Amino acid sequence: MDEAQKSWIQRFLSYLAHERRYSPHTITNYQRDLKSILAYCEKQDIGAWRDLGEYQVRMFVAAGHRQGLSPRSLQRRLSTLRSFYRYLNREGEIKTNPALEVRAPKASKRLPRTMDVDMMGKLLEMPHKDPLSVRDWAIMELLYSSGLRLAELVDLDLTDVDLSDRTVRVTGKGNKTRIVPLGRFSVEALAKWLGERGSMAGAGTDQAMFLSQRGRRISHRSVQSRVKLWARRQGLPVEVNPHLFRHSFASHLLESSGDLRGVQELLGHADISTTQIYTHLDFQHLARIYDRSHPRSKRRS
């Protein structure tokens, strides 16, 4: 493809960043997928985006499958291609979407890992006597208390947290904002961190809630490495990552409340089917409710 055709990729990525307000991590994924699609087009001598047809898209997916890509990765590539062509259509560059009817092989549903309440409690009993450990404690309490995504936590500003009202304003996927309550322990941890934050703030510090040791907004990688470090220090038998807090938050809340719609709102899921993946984790809890409540239950008090 010539440079004019290739430039559509950068325009699309710019659109995602500035109009759709997607996170840098998401944009990087889109960019990687589009590079693989571009490489395929050039290998097949496809000189313009309008020349890519449904048959070629199917062959692109088949080639990825032969290379050993998982169904989930192929689904993501197709989703990227559909979004890209919707953008080209909006801009008047093309009139069709060749990826619209193409489907990737079905992926088996991966059930989210969670930590049980005792394991989570052990992790959050970590010592917090210096600014760095206080920050880490506040981060983990907030992840578990409010079910934030990693990107949502990193993007938090000071003005997003209201300790008096015990709420946090979160900007999630698609630049959608939601208000999430803060638990008692996360309020305590955040208040202590705000008292220590000044010792880590640099000369050019912005309004980021969580700072690195250099006084800048903390990075995704730093949060991941610190969570992993504390899990090891606290002797947890599993590898812990930030998203595990979100899974545990959803599972524990659903077990206690049974309110699937409420959990959906707190997690910021656009579709309740995304939230329903947590219902399988709660089967034993539901079975107990059945045994206790249903008139045809085998158990009798």
pLDDT tens-digit profile of 72-98? 889 999 999 999 999 999 999 998 999
Alpha carbons 65 and 59: distance in angstroms, whole number: 10
Largest CA distance in the chain: 76
Please say whether the beta carbons of 107 and 71 come within 8 A.
Answer: yes
DSSP string computed for 117-147: HHHHHHHHT----SHHHHHHHHHHHHHHHH-
Query: End-to-end alpha-carbon separation of the chain, Å?
Result: 74
Active site amino acids: 149, 173, 243, 246, 269, 278
pTM value > 0.75: no
Give the three-state DSSP class for 226: helix
- Name the residue type at position 164: S
Spell out the domains of the chain, with CATH numbers in brackets. 3-90 (1.10.150.130), 117-288 (1.10.443.10)
How much is the pLDDT for 281?
A: 47
Helix (H) or strand (E) holding 27: helix 24-43
How much is the pLDDT for 301?
A: 44
Please say whether the beta carbons of 241 and 220 come within 8 A.
Answer: no
How much is the pLDDT for 83?
A: 95
pLDDT at 284 over 60: no
pLDDT category of residue 255 using cuts at 50, 70 and 90: low
Half-sphere exposure of 106 (CA within 13 A, CB side): 2
Of 31-35, 102-106, 158-162, the range with the lowest mean pLDDT is 102-106
How much is the pLDDT for 232?
A: 94
pLDDT at 61 over 80: yes
* Highest mean pLDDT: which range of 160-169, 170-179, 277-286: 160-169
Of 31-45, 100-114, 155-169, 200-214, the range with the lowest mean pLDDT is 100-114
pLDDT category of residue 290 using cuts at 50, 70 and 90: low
